[in-house]
Amino acid sequence: MLYFIFTVDGDWKEYFNVNLPEDERVPRTGIMQSLIEQEIEVSRRNLNGKFIHFIHTSARARTFFLNESFTGYWRQIIENDGDIGIHCHEDDPYKAYYFHDISRMRDVISKQVTILRRHGLSVCAYRSGWLAFSSDLIPVLEENGLCFDFSCEPERYLVDGQNLVSDWRGAPTSLYRMSYHDHRKTGDSRVFEIPIGVSGGRYLYFEKSDARTIEEAAYNLKAESAKTGRDIIVSVLTHSYEYASLDDIRSIEEKISLLKKYGYFINIKELKNRVESSKKK
């Protein structure tokens, strides 16, 4: 069987625009609320509420999305059968990247998780900005009860100047338990990786893929699952800023509809059930 987990990274476009003045690269409450409301409505109409919103944190918005203007949305997502996760953008886009500074990452992640749980919000999912990751981060996720990582885009290798940002070369293309020694290999850590779905260089990355590409990838993934007799579990990636217009939303819904022809959308609870059932086989 083929299973999808629909995800939204809670980013806004201005964050990445280095040509804007600094005060214009921060999020705006009303705009972000409107985008998140659209995410929730799209998931309600198309996914029975099942999706993960990854809550952005960065030096420009360290606790912006943890105040009362937004915690109600996170609670609503969970009540609708969805989930929330942590999305750490420890970077200054196109200038500096701090994802390999484990002390910094531990401090940021632990504080974000602590605040969310104080609000009574359950969180066990993580994704780095730029899909960055290092094996040293695995114990940090374990310490904070983040047992599912969504940072893998198989074969991604991103270097900016002298900075290695992301390296997923050789990583599996379906859910796997990560190795402490190499996050791109299977092992015995307590963190499971859910890669972005890919087949033949076609990714379930909505911003970068048209409807035809999405359907071809899904068709091939389903065929692979049928041929091997094994479940394939992958993630689907969108961003908050993709929910800004009716045309963009229609495109998202069209792609979701195509994916539903080939597989099933699940939430974290169902993902945990799939993991547990696989252990018993």
pLDDT in tens, 215-247: 999 999 999 999 999 999 999 999 999 999 999
Give the pLDDT of residue 277. 76
Contacts of 191 (CB under 8 A, 6+ apart): 138, 141, 142, 146, 147, 148, 149, 177, 178
**Over residues 31-55, mean pLDDT:** 98
**Over residues 252-271, mean pLDDT:** 98
Q: Nearest CA to 69 among 19, 25, 34? A: 34
Helix axes 68-79, 29-47, angle to 10 degrees: 0
Give the pLDDT of residue 163. 86
Taking the complete model, does pTM exceed 0.85, yes or no? yes
Structure tokens at 58: 């960065």
Structure tokens at 21: 């003045």
**Over residues 171-185, mean pLDDT:** 98
pLDDT in tens, 101-121: 999 999 999 999 999 999 999
Pairing of strands 83-89, 176-177: unpaired
The angle subtended at Cα 195 by Cα 155 and Cα 59, nearest 5°, is 90
Answer yes or no: is pLDDT of 162 > 70: yes
Give the pLDDT of residue 133. 96
In the predicted model, what is the mean pLDDT of the chain? 96
Give the pLDDT of residue 132. 97
Q: How many residues does the chain have?
A: 281
Distance of CA 224 to the CA centre of its chain: 23
Q: Nearest CA to 232 among 264, 261, 255? A: 264
Give the pLDDT of residue 276. 85
Percent of the chain with pLDDT over 90: 96
Give the pLDDT of residue 281. 58
Answer yes or no: is pLDDT of 173 > 80: yes
For tokens 């198989």, the residue is 154
For tokens 């359907």, the residue is 215
**Over residues 58-79, mean pLDDT:** 97
**Over residues 253-280, mean pLDDT:** 92
Report the top-level CATH class of 2-280.
alpha beta
The ranges assigned to domains in the chain are 2-280
Give the pLDDT of residue 280. 61
Q: Nearest CA to 153 among 237, 87, 67, 264? A: 237
